[in-house]
Amino acid sequence: MTSLAESAREGPAVEVRFGQVALAQVRIRTTDASVIVEDLSKRVAAAPRLFDRTAVCLDLSALQTEPTAEQIRDVSDAIRRAGLFVVGLAHGTQAIDTLARELQTPVLTQFRPVQEKAAPAARQQRQPQPQPEQVIVHTPALMQYQPVRSGQVIYARHSDLVVTSNVGAGAEVIADGCVHVYGPMRGRAVAGAMGEVTARIFCQEFRAELVSIAGVFRVFETLPPELAGKPVQAWLDGDDLRFARIGN
Amino acid sequence: MTEIIVVTSGKGGVGKTTTAASIACGLARRSKRVAIIDFDIGLRNLDLIMGCERRVVFDFVNVIQGDCSLKQALIKDKRIETLFVLAASQTRDKDALSKDGVRKVLDELIADGFDYIVCDSPAGIEAGAHLAMYFADRAIVVVNPEVSSVRDSDRILGLLSSKTQRAEKGGEKVKEHLLLTRYNPRRVAAGEMMSADDVKEILGIEVLAVIPESPDVLSASNAGTPVILLEQSDVAKAYEDAVARLMGEDRPMRFIEEPKKGFLARMFGG
């Protein structure tokens, strides 16, 4: 006799599906675990919801010397202590493959794999293998049609944020890409939350309390009359935030 | 010596924030260094009453979580040099505060040499209100002359005598004061409102001040000015008396009786 649960189940017990998931990459420039914990914790504290139990891929390409498995274990522990989870190593050199095997962790292929810079001799030793398929993904903008109320935070991870309604004072609209607000914008706007310096902020009716792009911010204690209530865009010019009217 | 004063009530909308802002301003005007902290995480209002809402970058929760230094988060008042505001976070909830976190911030303010720390409590008796009163040396219980407010204040007075650090350590008690707001002597005389004496009798503690009902409170709030700064207002005078009494001055109670009408006004019913 089959149990109720079994008879209710259709198809095989395990389904394997292929698809893309967005994954943050952590590129380390040191293997000093304490420095990494400190640095990452600061970022996590700045946006705790953003990083809450986030899966990350560890990118070793910026290290000067090749790390040992022991070092990478320490680094992974450090990252976990900061609240993130290392789920694999970023695709790179042969040495990384070896390291990954030793650590029993997967190697994750980047969409645009960084070509191995190692000596050609090392490359020749490798078995010819099919090139990983290059996929260009487009993360659609996060659309917000409802008003964003005071105290509410809307975050568009890995994408732009489009708000077609109003953003109240004390509300926060955050995107890794650009922020577009088509209603009155009275709250805080944060673009390039992960450091994208080309991100911009566009507001149809600008009355923001605070504007930040890639960590550079400006508080508007009083709104300049030429911007208040006007269509405005903000962008980063070096270390300076610039503001200008859109249209006339 | 730093004194920590909590302004609390239990019931919402009785004038805690208005009172906290005016008391803090009054103390600071007497050249005391004063920090005022908004404990109402998620529903911050103190910054509006103090008129610094567009200058808030970092808040109380940021300081507790180590995102910024206390110095970065303290907003210096534009009118009074010795007054600083620590705003609440609007985007978090009350669970973002912890006893250790609050203690750390208060200790830092004490080490920095502040004379007074005024804690503006949220309504209710949950975590936020509890943390606002926990470290207090002195409590101002704001009460409206009506039964539900009086009952809630009674509850708060019970908590002050059992759930504070002073109560737990079993040393000196938290000094308690009643502050009546929205007091309307005419309606008291007509028997429509409880009198200051009624309230004092039920709650059994001294009245620090009676603040008359006045449209000045609303207009001051809307303008982002603590009402104590409206010099001509009776409300400002009543709060100034409260500050003086807090600092040990003896002042007669004002505004508890209906103003005597002049002869002409009586004749013509003015």
Q: Give, for all 270 residues of chain B, the pLDDT tens digit.
A: 999 999 999 899 999 999 999 999 999 999 999 999 999 999 999 999 999 999 999 999 999 999 999 999 999 999 999 999 999 999 888 788 999 999 999 999 999 999 999 999 999 999 999 999 999 999 999 999 999 999 999 999 999 999 999 999 988 999 999 999 999 999 999 999 999 999 999 999 999 999 999 999 999 999 999 999 998 999 999 999 999 999 999 999 999 988 776 666 666 654
How far away is chain B from the Cα of A213, in angstroms, using its nearest Cα? 15
Residue A101 in tokens: 């095997």
Interface contact A24, partner B, CB < 8 A: no
In a domain, A157, yes or no: yes
pLDDT at B95: 83
Q: Write out residues 40-69 of A within 8 Å (CB-CB) of B.
A: 42, 45-46, 48
Q: Is A151 on the interface with B (CB under 8 A)?
A: yes
Q: Check whether residue A104 and residue A149 sit in a common domain.
A: no
Render pLDDT for B96-151 as a digit per residue (tens, 0 to 9): 899 999 999 999 999 999 999 999 999 999 999 999 999 999 999 999 999 999 99
Residues from chain A contacting residue B54 (CB–CB below 8 Å): 209, 219-222
Contact check, Cβ <8 Å, B57/A153: no
Q: Based on the domain organization, do A155 and A100 belong to the same domain? A: no
The reply to whether A231 falls in a domain is yes
- Count of structural domains within chain A: 2
Statement to judge: residues A90 and A147 lie in one domain = no
Among B50, B57, B59, B65, the strongest candidate for a mutation testing the A interface, having the largest count of A CBs within 10 A, is: B57
Average pLDDT, stretch A115-124? 46
Which of A188, A190, A211 to mutate to probe the B interface, most B CBs <10 Å?
A188
- Domain CATH code at residue A187: 2.160.20.70
Pair B54, A209: CB distance under 8 Å: yes
Query: Chain A contact for B67, CB < 8 A?
Result: yes
Q: Which residues from chain B sit within 8 angstroms of residue A171, using beta carbons?
A: 91
The residue from A82, A108, A134 where one domain ends is A108
Chain B's closest residue to A208, CA to CA, is B54
User: Tell me, what CATH number does A32's domain have?
Assistant: 3.30.70.260
Q: Is the dihedral of CA A65, A66, A68, A69 positive or negative?
A: positive
Asked if A172's CB is within 8 angstroms of B67's CB, the reply is: no
- Is A135 among the domain residues? no
Q: Which of B56, B67, B91 sits opposite A151 (nearest CB)?
A: B91
Long-range contacts of A71-74 (CB under 8 A, 24+ apart): A71/A31, A72/A31, A72/A99, A72/A103, A73/A103, A74/A31, A74/A33
B53 touches chain A (CB under 8 A): yes
Distance CA A149, CA B243 (A): 37
Number of Cβ pairs < 8 A linking chain A and chain B: 31
- Please, which pLDDT band fits residue A19 given cuts at 50, 70 and 90? low
> For A220, which of B54, B67, B90 is closest by C-beta distance?
B54
Say yes or no: A219 contacts chain B, CB-CB below 8 A.
Answer: yes
- What is the Cα–Cα distance from A154 to A166, expressed in whole angstroms? 12
Q: Which residue of A has its CA nearest to B87?
A: A170
Q: Round to whole Å and give the CA distance between B101 and A233.
A: 38
0.80 exceeded by the pTM?
A: no
Whether residues A149 and A238 share a domain: the answer is yes
For chain B, give the secondary structure using H, E and C.
CCEEEEEECCCCCCCHHHHHHHHHHHHHHCCCCEEEEECCCCCCCHHHHCCCHHHCCCCHHHHHCCCCCHHHHCEECCCCCCEEEECCCCCCCHHHCCHHHHHHHHHHHHHCCCCEEEEECCCCCCHHHHHHHHCCCEEEEEECCCHHHHHHHHHHHHHHCCCCHHHHHCCCCCEEEEEEEEECHHHHHCCCCCCHHHHHHHHCCCEEEEEECCHHHHHHHHHCCCHHHCCCCHHHHHHHHHHHHHCCCCCCCCCCCCCCCCHHHHHHCC
Tell me if B54 and A152 make a contact (CB, 8 A cut-off): no
Task: Say whether both A154 and A235 belong to one domain.
Answer: yes
| Cβ <8 Å between A219 and B55 | yes
Contacts of B90 in chain A (CB under 8 A): 150-151, 170
A84 & A177 share domain: no
Contacts of A10 (CB under 8 A, 6+ apart): none
Nearest to B42 among A151, A169, A220 (CB): A151
Cα dihedral across residues A165, B40, B182, B35: positive or negative: negative
Binding-face residues of B in 87-116 toward A, CB within 8 A = 90-91
Has residue A210 been placed in a domain?
yes
- Of A89, A108, A127, the position where a domain reaches its end is A108
- In angstroms, the separation between the Cα of residue A146 and the nearest Cα of chain B is 17
User: Which residues fall within 8 angstroms of residue A35, CB to CB, at 6 or more apart?
Assistant: none
Among residues A108, A131, A152, the one where a domain terminates is A108
Given CB atoms, is A133 within the 8 Å cutoff of chain B? Answer: no
Q: What is the pLDDT of residue A120?
A: 46
A238 and A177 both lie in a single domain? yes
Which residue range forms the structural domain that includes residue A233? 142-245
Q: Does B72 touch chain A (CB under 8 A)?
A: no
* SS (HEC) of chain A: CCCHHHHHCCCCCCCCCCCCCCCEEEECCCCCHHHHHHHHHHHHHHCHHHHCCCEEEEECCCCCCCCCHHHHHHHHHHHHHCCCEEEEEECCCHHHHHHHHHHCCCEECCCCCCCCCCCHHHHHHCCCCCCCCCCCCCCCCEEECCCECCCCEEEECCCCEEECCCECCCCEEEECCCEEEEEEECCEEEECCCCCCCCCEEEEEECCCEEEECCEEEECCCCCCCCCCCCEEEEEECCEEEEEECCC
Query: Which chain A positions have a beta carbon within 8 Å of B57's beta carbon?
Result: 210, 217, 219
A91 and A149 assigned to the same domain: no
The pLDDT score that the predictor gives to residue A127 is 58
Chain B positions in Cβ-Cβ contact with residue A153 (cut-off 8 Å): 91
